[in-house]
Homo-oligomer: A and B are copies of this chain.
Amino acid sequence: MVKILNRRKFIKTSAVAGTAALMTPKTLFSSTESKRIKLGFIGTGLRGQWMVHLTTKYPEVSIPAICDIDKNMIASTLKILKKSGRNEPRVYSNGDEDYINMVKNENLDAVYIATPWEWHHPMAIESMKNGIHVGTEVPAALTVQDCWDLVNTSERTGMHCMIMENVNYRRDVMAVLNMVRKGLFGEILHCQGGYQHDLRHVKFNDGLQPYGGGVEFGEKGFSEAKWRTQHSIDRNGDLYPTHGLGPMSNVLDLNRGNKMQFLTSFATQARGLNKYIKDNGGNDHPNSKIKFKCGDIITTTIKCHNGQTIVLSHDTNNPRPYSLNFRVQGTKGIWQKDNRSIYLEGLSPESHVWESEDSYLKEYDHPLWKKFESKAKGSGHGGMDFFVLRDFINSIKNKTRPPIDVYDAASLSVISPLSEKSIRLGSAAVKIPDFTRGRWKNKKPTFGKILEL
């Protein structure tokens, strides 16, 4: 690993030095070009393409290389880049391992990883080993060991590994975080979050469109159904904890003065996916025989060092309206998203009675949102994608630690394997590793700081 790094440093140094005699700096790199961040994309499916599109809005970021095993997805991405007037990137699409060639051969500052979950970890590791900062889609890794591997590799290489948890930037979530930091909720006692999203039309489709229209998945599926559904066959646990836990991590200062200690996890029976296949594909469809391991509703409770508890819900296989299950509660009051309400002692006009969250969310709108509201508009997922990408790019540009760093990537992601372990052990309490190795005591919260681009 050190050898590779040295080789890369050598390449970089010798490239600049060796050509300097032959070319003017301008022909090698324009002064803009030399300052430009070189961001590669591994995984250019629908999510990757969207993030490529958003990245093209940053003139200071170039996209010299992209990687995907699917030629159609590559073609769509090239169209996006062409349409925005960008140079054609080098393409790596020669099988599953071609990303290794990309991170070895390309002189990248960073990569954005938007591949199936199981690839995030090896791709992040390989990138960091090659001196490249990483932004990875959630979750960052699927096993406890792989979470440690991310941390260890980041520490050894000095490369960042930001988990691109966009929900941390949701407008209401940031307003509530703002209120928490101003002390409006008093001392925080309890938080809730989760991923409650009927994904049946994502886990199954007709192989032609990303959402619904059939009960196919895997080889015969399209987009996420190609790989995501298999996790419900192989694993029983909270498969997707980060959207709920990420924002609550900031509320609770996890890894920054507080940390998670242990959890238990419970699974219900697994019914929804089989029912969906039978209801929509008939009892004779071959997929109707599949045994899904993942319980339909997973409830995980986490105990924090400073005393607080967190309840996470994972609920994706049955009919239900979308909800990330947010609740923030302290000694002075409570915010509960499902009824869009807040109650704060001394502020709420009527004792024991909810009031609408609206005026609070407006009054305590986070400065970042106030500042970048117009830029965030239309940038995906209600503007969250703008902010998460902006923090990633800023971190590379300013050589600063990203506000959601490798310790967060590990501790948000590790909930999945630990949830699986707890369920396997009859909902036993399972210890949550301290990936900071004690540094959580002195680390300060940085999320939500305004940095200029």
Closest to A296 in B: B189
A387 CB contacts on chain B under 8 angstroms = none
Residues in chain B near residue A272, CB distance under 8 A: 331
CB-CB under 8 A from A398, the residues of chain B are: none
Query: Nearest-CB distance from A252 to chain B (Å)?
Result: 11
Report yes or no: B321 in contact with A189, Cβ–Cβ below 8 A: no
Among A340-357, those with CB < 8 Å from B are 340-341, 343-345, 352-354
Q: Which B residues touch A119, using CB under 8 A?
A: none
Tell me if A297 counts as interface (CB < 8 A to partner B). yes
**Does any Cβ of B come within 8 Å of A332's Cβ?**
yes
Q: Are B427 and A262 in contact (CB under 8 A)?
A: yes
* A309 interfacial by beta-carbon distance below 8 Å: yes
Contact between chains at A322 and B352 (CB < 8 Å): yes
**B332 close to A319 (CB less than 8 A):** yes
A439–B437 Cα gap in the complex (Å)? 51
Q: Which of B187, B331, B339 contacts A338 (CB 8 A)?
A: B339
Contact with B along A303-337 (1 / 0, CB 8 A): 10011110100010011111000000111111010
**A329-B334 CB under 8 A given contacts A307-B268, A427-B301:** no
A189, chain B: closest CB distance, angstroms? 4
Q: Determine the chain B residues whose CB is within 8 A of the CB of A352 once the complex forms.
A: 198, 320-322
Chain B residues in 8 Å Cβ range of A190: 268, 296-297, 299, 315
Contact between chains at B264 and A301 (CB < 8 Å): yes
Expressed in whole angstroms, the minimum distance between the Cβ of A149 and any Cβ of chain B is 28
Q: How far is the CA of A303 from the CA of B352 in the complex (A)?
A: 32
Interface centre among A297, A334, A427, A429 (most CB of B within 10 A): A427
B198 touches A331 (CB 8 A): no
CA distance A86 to B323 in the complex (A): 55
Q: Which residues of A contact B (CB under 8 A)?
A: 186-187, 189-190, 198, 262, 264, 266-269, 271-272, 275, 295-297, 299, 301, 303, 306-309, 311, 315, 318-322, 329-334, 336, 338-341, 343-345, 352-354, 426-429
